[in-house]
Amino acid sequence: MAALAGVILVFICGAVCYTIGMRFFFRKTTIWITQTTEYALLWIVFLGTTWLLRDGGHITTDIIYSHLSDKARRRLDIIMFVVGAVACMAMVYFGIDMFASVSRGT
């Protein structure tokens, strides 16, 4: 995931340099570069976050967590995973609902 995010970042740099060159030398710009780089930046965040979470490098608040026993930490981890899963399921549900309502034209 991190390698793919890096490839996307190289693409963004190349695309921005291309559009700057086109604007400078030919006085014409490419319209699709701005929208493409906006979405690409979003995907870099998503891809980088999955890699970071897998390696356990994400930011954590240790104020309470460090004072808990191993058993309490595992329970808290499970609770947080369940909360995250419920939030993801809610976003999927509302996304599908929004897609369905747009498709129906309502």
Tens of pLDDT, residues 43-72? 998 888 887 877 777 676 678 888 889 999
What pLDDT is attached to residue 54?
76
The CB density around residue 46, as the number of other CB atoms within 10 Å, is 10
Q: Which residues contact 4 (CB under 8 A, 6 or more apart)?
A: 47
Q: Is 68 within 8 Å of 76 (Cβ atoms)?
A: yes
Query: What confidence tens digit (pLDDT) does each residue in 1-38 have?
Result: 888 989 999 999 999 999 999 999 998 888 889 899 99
